[in-house]
Amino acid sequence: MNKKQSLVNKYPLVTAFVALVIAFVLLLTIKTDGTVLQNLRQEVPLTILTLGLVVAIGGFKLIKFQSNGLGFTFRKSIIYLIPGILVASSTIFAAISAHRALQPNLILLILEGVFFYSLLGFFEEGMFRGVILQALLAKFGKTRRGLFGAIIIGGIIFGFVHILLGWFQSGVDLSVLGLLQALVKTLSAGMAGYFFGAIYLKTKNLWGIAIVHGLSDFLLMIGNLMFTGSNSVSYVSSDPKQAMTTLLINTIFILIYIPLVVGATRQLKSLTLPQLGFYRENWK
């Protein structure tokens, strides 16, 4: 183990915290206009940072492509993809009904979107499952209670960070509707994080969860790309009508994710202990 690997392995929770802070700084300082190309200015360095850190922690084998577990990941993720399919269908149907015109550079936008959401999947899964969850496992993964605690805390962090970034950018909305939107988004994204954490521990394959994550987000935004050219998103709105729509959508997501959480819980109960992650174990 080289000196850099020794340092990040010695202090996993500190490493995870510093990585998250750096990611926040990049997101807040690199400004975008909501278009895919502008958002890539954020996503490229974030992905390089995250995958570089994963390699520093556990070596290149952690990001090397492997087919092992991909089929399992996609079979388990069918339900997870349903919200994206529903949102894509409803957005496209509403735009067609309103006689909105497709973007003139539609093909280019879709190709840019595929690239962007591929990077997004690897950044978010690399950061939250490949760095933060692994740090929590290194600390708490010796016992079954600790394993569940690590997965739950990792999921909550993943969910809340979506809201925290918006608060940094637009200010904290302490109204009832604002707090409700923050709560349901944190819960829905947290449930997804819990599910992805369980899948990752089962397959030990970052590619599967990164691809599924990126595909889901692409489906959620494909309608906007086709008719507005933008992939910007806001999880908390001050407009009452938009706020109610956001609450409804995330509540539906929560209901759809319940079977995923149940299945992930069964899966976690079947894992052998300890589960210390690749900070402490030699993942194969």
Tell me the per-residue pLDDT of 142-175, one tens digit each, with 9 for 90 and over: 999 999 999 999 999 999 999 998 898 888 888 9
Q: Which residue has the higher pLDDT, 4 or 254?
A: 254
pLDDT tens column, 184-201: 999 999 999 999 999 999
| Res 5: pLDDT | 55
List the domain boundaries for the chain.
3-280
Least confident piece of the model among 44-48, 161-165, 230-234, 272-276: 230-234
Q: What confidence tier does 6 reach under pLDDT thresholds 50, 70, 90? A: low
pLDDT band at 284 (very low <50, low <70, confident <90, very high): low
pLDDT value for 282: 79
Other Cβ atoms within 10 Å of 96 Cβ, number: 13
Is the whole model's pTM more than 0.75, yes or no? yes
Q: Is the pLDDT of residue 77 over 80?
A: yes
223-239: buried (b, 16+ CB within 10 Å) or exposed (e) per residue?
Answer: bbbbbbbbbeeebbbee
The per-residue pLDDT for 169 is 83
Which residues are paired to 250 by β-bridges?
none
The closest of 156, 232, 153, 152 to 188, measured between CA atoms, is 156
Percentage with pLDDT > 70 across the chain: 97
Task: Report the pLDDT value the prediction gives residue 2, as an integer from 0 to 100.
Answer: 53
Residue 143, token pair as written in the block: 């016992």
Is the pLDDT score of 4 beyond 90?
no
Of the spans 4-13, 186-195, 275-284, which averages the highest pLDDT? 186-195
Half-sphere exposure in the Cβ direction for 254 (13 Å, CA): 15
Please give the Cα distance from 280 to 9 (Å, whole number).
8
Over residues 247-261, the mean pLDDT reads 96
Q: Which residues contact 199 (CB under 8 A, 6 or more apart)?
A: 72, 73, 76, 77, 208, 209, 264, 267
Secondary structure (H, E, C), the chain: CCHHHHHHHHCHHHHHHHHHHHHHHHHHHCCCCCEHHHHHHHHHHHHHHHHHHHHHHHCHHHCCCCCCCHHHHHHHCHHHHHHHHHHHHHHHHHHHHCCCCCCCCHHHHHHHHHHHHHHHHHHHHHHHHHHHHHHHHHHHCCCHHHHHHHHHHHHHHHHHHHHHHHHHHHCCCCCHHHHHHHHHHHHHHHHHHHHHHHHHHHHCCHHHHHHHHHHHHHHHHHHHHHHCCECCCCCCCCCHHHHHHHHHHHHHHHHHHHHHHHHHHHHHHHCCCCCCHHHHCCCC
**C-alpha to C-alpha distance for 274 and 140, rounded to whole angstroms:** 9
Could you give the maximum distance between any two Cα atoms of the chain, in Å? Answer: 60
pLDDT of the residue at 142: 95
